[in-house]
A and B are shown apart, each in its own frame.
Chain A
Amino acid sequence: MSVTQDRVDQLLGGVPRSLREIVTPEGVALHVELAEHGERAAAFAIDLAIWLGVAFFSWLVVFAFVVETRAIGIVVTLVLFIGFFVRNLYFIYFELAWQGSTPGKRINRLRVIDRAGGPLTPGAVIARNLTREVEVFLPLGIVLTAGAGGLADAVLGLWLLLLAAMPLFNRDRMRGGDFIAGTIVIALPKRLLLADLAEQSARYVFTNAQLAAYGAFELQVLEELLRKPRNYETTQALDGVCDRICKKIGWTGAVPKARAVEFLTEFYTAERAYLEREQLYGRARADKNATPG
């Protein structure tokens, strides 16, 4: 998997996302965005809350039922029993039924996927969730019951905490269960298809020499700028960009401020037509510093 970050996002100060590539069985590489630590923690907190809620409710029912028959010994046992069952079945059930997401993950738009791009198998789901018992609940239990323990307990606790903090120490943010199951957790936002910026006809005509000033990167930065909702700030930015482009390509005519957006849209169209044509002829150009071909 290649480690990349989107250059355009980086330049424009978007949320920097770590991108990874998976290859589908059809042989097409798809980009996936790794989930952030915070998102995963939030998803887990929601799941934990749901687990506690369900378990607590079942405990109440059991308690009401058993208090009638006055067998307190059984209550304690049942409480542990139900807690254990709900906890383990909850994650496995949802990740199987909801294609790799649980309620918490769904709210945060996260998914568990196979790292290599294969199907997510039930075995993988079970493996990554069984390990959770050791990775999360065991350290949690030890930390919660700690206190009177000696040095050995402290060392054990520290060691288990390190195990729980594993996603912080590897670049794919995998926890132990992800390693064992061969999975990663990704963020899956919904992207919308916006209208094509390219115009059908043009008032401004540019020469090939002018269009050769830029590459695909600059084109896409321009596209992002043009797609931003217009307000004072973006209009200022567009005016600045317009001046810079005019200077760079040696545009002799003046472009009035009111026409800046129109000019830029047409320049975008012409530039894209030019670069796409060049790319088709095998002379793709990544950015203005790259030599074509």
Chain B
Amino acid sequence: MSLSEASGRLVAEEEPRPVVTLRSSEFRRGREQGWRDLEALVAKAEQRGIGALGVGELQRLPQLYRAALSSLSVARSIALDRNLLQYLDNLSLRAFLMVYGPRQSLAEGARDFVARGFPAAVRAARIEILLAFLAILAGTLAGFLLTIGDEAWLTALIPDSMASGRGVHSTRQELLDDEIFAPWPGFARSFVVFANFLFQHNTIIGIMTFGLGIAAGAPTILLLAYQGLVFGAFIGLHYDRGLTLDFLGWVSMHGVTEFGAIILCGAGGLVVARSILFPGRFSRVENLAANGQMAARLAVGAVAMFFIAGILEGGLRQLVANTDARLSISALTMILWGCYFCFAGRGARR
């Protein structure tokens, strides 16, 4: 280009036109085919899932992705073509999401979760579990002491939906016949008990206990203590009628698993609350992201435990009509859960 003239000029028709070479255009011509190939692969995978790609295509995908990333880096330093920069940014992002997308299917994830993720999360949240346990224990003690002091508390503490006819008026014989050693109501009725209690009550309570951890944990502690209060009130009711051991046998068949699950949900909520209240070296948001997934693992595991507790409650409990046998089964479930949480998946660290 001529630099001599101050105002620029128009090249006359007969003169040879000066050739303009842009490095960014040269760069684009050399690499464009690779980008187009990557775009086609990504579009195919976006349309029909990553499974639609063949073996050769799957091998090419990360290579082309890295090439596109390097193109983007180069383009950012040498090119001012806005469309090109935006295209490469967008293409790299789409390929990035394809290459680093979730790799596990639901089944693999579930297997990994049971074998490793869940017990590891439980072990990592020891302190929160202890706190949740103490909250429930405090509630139970309070409920128990209040009830044996004055049975009028029963109506206040136990909602009608849970009382199912039990209350101040219940006699020892009624409790024995209709509750503790009631006959097994048959498959259909037990299913209703199972599903109702599992999904209308326990799981919702559990998930609420977990989810409300985001409100700094106070609702979580309150909910836990409230569960304890109800439980303690029931113990008090049976204590007054000399049925403590029978009731404990009856309730602990599923209660060990169920309370374990509630405690885990609560612990999950407390993990979330801790990240918010005591962020430490990192910001609250970073802390939440780091710990939230562990907390969610606790909650998901707890939902599975509610499921098992529901089966024990609806199916097995009334079939075993003997307090000693019930207590041994409870002890067994406690030992099994303890072993699972303490030892499962310790070797297989990723």
Interface residues of A (CB under 8 A from B): 8, 24-26, 28, 30-32, 71, 73-74, 77-78, 80-81, 84, 92-93, 95-100, 111, 113, 115-116, 118-127, 130-131, 133-135, 138, 163, 176, 179-182, 188-194, 196-210, 216, 219-220, 223-224, 227, 249-253, 269-270, 272-273, 275-277, 279-280
30 contacts between A and B (CB under 8 A): A73-B188, A77-B191, A77-B195, A80-B195, A80-B200, A97-B106, A100-B97, A100-B102, A113-B97, A121-B102, A123-B117, A124-B293, A126-B293, A126-B296, A127-B295, A127-B296, A163-B215, A182-B288, A198-B24, A200-B19, A201-B20, A204-B8, A205-B9, A206-B8, A216-B80, A219-B80, A220-B82, A223-B82, A269-B22, A273-B20
**CB-CB < 8 A to A131: which residues of B?**
211, 214, 296
Would you give the shortest CB distance from B286 to chain A, in whole angstroms? 8
* Residue B270, interface by CB 8 Å: no
Bound-complex Cα distance A111 to B196 (A): 35
Q: What total of chain B residues lie within 8 Å of the partner, measured CB to CB?
A: 91
Q: Are B103 and A119 in contact (CB under 8 A)?
A: yes
> Looking across the interface, which residue of chain B has its beta carbon closest to that of A125?
B102
Q: Are A204 and B10 in contact (CB under 8 A)?
A: yes
**CB-CB < 8 A to B25: which residues of A?**
196, 198
**CB-CB < 8 A to B192: which residues of A?**
73-74, 77
Known contacts A275-B80, A276-B78; 7 additional CB pairs below 8 A are A30-B93, A96-B102, A163-B214, A179-B214, A181-B292, A202-B17, A207-B8
Would you give the shortest CB distance from A87 to chain B, in whole angstroms? 11
Q: Are B20 and A181 in contact (CB under 8 A)?
A: no
Would you give the shortest CB distance from A66 to chain B, in whole angstroms? 10
Partner of A280, one of B17, B23, B66, B196: B23
Chain B CB count within 10 A is highest, among A122, A126, A197, A203, for A122
Interface residues of B (CB under 8 A from A): 1-3, 5-11, 17-25, 28, 32, 35-36, 39, 43, 49-50, 66, 69, 72-73, 77-84, 86-87, 89-94, 96-98, 100-106, 109, 113, 117, 188-189, 191-192, 195-196, 199-200, 203-204, 207-208, 210-212, 214-215, 272, 285-286, 288-290, 292-297, 299-300
Q: Are A176 and B214 in contact (CB under 8 A)?
A: yes
Q: Are A127 and B86 in contact (CB under 8 A)?
A: no
> Looking across the interface, which residue of chain A has its beta carbon closest to that of B91?
A191
**CB-CB < 8 A to A118: which residues of B?**
100
Bound-complex Cα distance A92 to B303 (A): 15
Would you give the shortest CB distance from A111 to chain B, in whole angstroms? 6
Would you give the shortest CB distance from B296 to chain A, in whole angstroms? 3
Bound-complex Cα distance A6 to B49 (A): 32
Bound-complex Cα distance A106 to B263 (A): 37
Q: Are A120 and B102 in contact (CB under 8 A)?
A: yes
Would you give the shortest CB distance from B275 to chain A, in whole angstroms? 9
Bound-complex Cα distance A293 to B294 (A): 48
Bound-complex Cα distance A256 to B202 (A): 79
Partner of B101, one of A77, A78, A99: A99
Would you give the shortest CB distance from B212 to chain A, in whole angstroms? 7
> Looking across the interface, which residue of chain A has its beta carbon closest to that of B189?
A73
> Looking across the interface, which residue of chain B has its beta carbon closest to that of A120?
B102
